[in-house]
């Protein structure tokens, strides 16, 4: 059985302030005590270039409001564990209950000009039942809901809260935590799953696509354009490679009865140095949305003479591998709202992909709606934050008891 081996992490336990500690200057009593006020306070902290202040606030709040073992690693991740003494563990480990993690991230993409004030602070606005500001939907609102649920739950398992850095940079914080031993049995990742199956409903995503970004590098031989036969035109070779990409079939798979379809597309092309020179180099950018267990056969482009395929980024997809866990979280979601949530799939990559690849059974469930993240008027429904708190709380209290 996988465990959260925080003892293997390069961390320091946050038990009090000391000179030079990361939490110096943070007064947790000034941070909100309920989901909505805590969300406002977290969204107000700039974290697009440096996540430390946001991480400091999260760690200080957890230390002040819970009896959890709260730790920071060198990457800046915040990991808190309830049951640090292992009170649920059996003597031989054979009957240990599972570990559940509520997972989020506290970094954000750069704000638009309208989302910052003259001093560089984040602009917040609240109207029509929504909180506006960079990171409100993606995903400090969900982080606040998870923190409050982590505090309030009466779990029958080891309950973990984790907020990672660097999700917007390819999941570097999550990867660092995994490499250092972070490995819960189950995780609810609080990325957006609201209004996927219908209006005013927070669904549970059992799969999402990944992203593989590639560059096709076509090389040739330069020559004067008045004698094109004297060279090898790299643009022509690149075009031949593009034809190969156009003929590729993007795979489709099923996860717990739900279809996930991939895609592959050429998005950029760059070649040539002058109007009268046969180009000796041309680069083509390919965006592929991957599905669990399958990839488009991009290696076929290297059958074109002079073309090399280079993978620049490979964010893994996610597939939930445990129908019972998916149903447990769906039941929690059903009981936390008046709508009728469903199991759905998600088009975007999240840290759940890295966790699933490392062996954690994941679902994605959170307040963000399609089209909200990364926008100039990003916002989140305050009522949906309350709803997600209820989902996380119920899930935390049912994992472990469901196994009894």
Per-residue pLDDT tens over the stretch 194-212: 999 999 999 999 999 999 9
pLDDT in tens, 119-132: 989 999 999 999 99
Decide: 98 and 105 in contact? Cβ < 8 Å. no
pLDDT of residue 28: 84
Decide: 142 and 191 in contact? Cβ < 8 Å. yes
For the chain, the average pLDDT equals 90
CA distance 204 to 206: 6
* Confidence bin at 115 (pLDDT 50/70/90): very high
| Tokens 């717990």 -> residue | 256
pLDDT in tens, 154-178: 999 999 999 999 999 999 999 999 9
CA distance 366 to 30: 26
CA distances from 231 to 81, 160, 275, 278, 281 (A): 64, 62, 15, 7, 12
Check residue 369 and report its DSSP letter: P
pLDDT of residue 143: 98
For residues 219-231, average pLDDT: 96
Decide: 183 and 5 in contact? Cβ < 8 Å. yes
Residue 15 has pLDDT above 50, yes or no: no
Task: Assess whether the previous peptide bond of 326 is cis (omega < 30° from 0).
Answer: no
CA distance 350 to 171: 8
pLDDT of residue 17: 26
The two tokens of residue 228 are 């094109």
* Confidence bin at 260 (pLDDT 50/70/90): very high
pTM higher than the cut 0.75: yes
pLDDT of residue 13: 34
Percentage of residues in the chain with pLDDT exceeding 90? 86
* Confidence bin at 99 (pLDDT 50/70/90): very high
Count of beta carbons in the 10 Å neighbourhood of residue 261: 13
Paired with 194 in beta bridges are 202
Domain extents in the chain = 6-209+317-398, 210-314
pLDDT of residue 404: 52
CATH architecture of 6-209+317-398: 3-Layer(aba) Sandwich (3.40)
Paired with 232 in beta bridges are 221
pLDDT of residue 257: 95
* Confidence bin at 364 (pLDDT 50/70/90): very high
pLDDT in tens, 22-80: 455 678 888 888 999 999 999 999 999 999 999 999 999 999 999 999 999 999 999 99
CATH architecture of 210-314: 2-Layer Sandwich (3.30)
């Amino acid at each position: 059985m996988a465990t959260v081996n925080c003892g293997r992490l390069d961390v320091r336990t946050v038990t009090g302030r000391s000179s030079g500690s990361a939490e110096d200057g943070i007064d947790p009593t000034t941070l909100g005590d309920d989901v909505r006020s805590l969300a406002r306070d977290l969204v107000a902290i700039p974290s697009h270039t440096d996540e430390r202040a946001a991480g400091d606030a999260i760690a200080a709040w957890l230390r002040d409001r819970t009896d959890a073992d709260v730790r920071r690693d060198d990457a800046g991740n915040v990991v808190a564990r309830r049951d640090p003494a292992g009170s649920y563990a059996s003597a031989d480990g054979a009957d240990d209950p599972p570990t559940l993690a509520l997972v989020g991230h506290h970094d954000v993409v750069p704000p638009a000009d309208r989302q910052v004030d003259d001093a560089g602070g984040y602009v917040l606005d609240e109207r029509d039942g929504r909180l506006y500001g960079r990171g409100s939907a993606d995903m400090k609102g969900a982080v606040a809901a998870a923190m409050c649920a982590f505090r309030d739950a009466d779990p029958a398992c080891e309950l973990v809260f984790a907020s990672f850095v660097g999700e917007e940079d390819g999941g570097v914080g999550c990867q660092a935590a995994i490499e250092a031993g972070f490995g819960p049995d189950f995780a609810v990742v609080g990325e957006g799953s609201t209004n996927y199956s219908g209006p005013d409903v927070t669904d549970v995503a059992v799969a999402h696509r990944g992203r593989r970004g590639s560059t096709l590098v076509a090389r040739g031989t330069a020559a004067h354009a008045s004698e094109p036969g004297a060279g090898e035109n790299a643009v022509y070779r690149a075009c031949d490679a593009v034809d190969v990409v156009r003929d590729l079939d993007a795979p489709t798979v099923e996860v717990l009865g739900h279809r996930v379809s991939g895609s592959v597309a050429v998005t950029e092309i760059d070649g040539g140095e002058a109007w009268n020179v046969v180009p000796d180099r041309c680069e083509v950018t390919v965006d592929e949305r991957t599905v669990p267990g399958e990839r488009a056969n991009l290696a076929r482009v290297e059958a074109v003479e002079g073309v090399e395929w280079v993978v620049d980024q490979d964010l893994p997809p996610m597939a939930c591998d445990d129908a019972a866990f998916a149903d447990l979280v769906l039941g929690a979601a059903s009981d936390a709202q008046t709508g009728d949530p469903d199991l759905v799939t998600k088009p975007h990559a999240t840290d759940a992909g890295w966790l699933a690849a490392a062996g954690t059974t994941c679902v994605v469930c959170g307040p963000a709606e399609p089209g909200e993240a990364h926008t100039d008027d990003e916002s989140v429904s305050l009522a949906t934050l309350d709803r997600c708190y209820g989902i996380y709380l119920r899930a935390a209290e049912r994992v472990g008891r469901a196994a009894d």
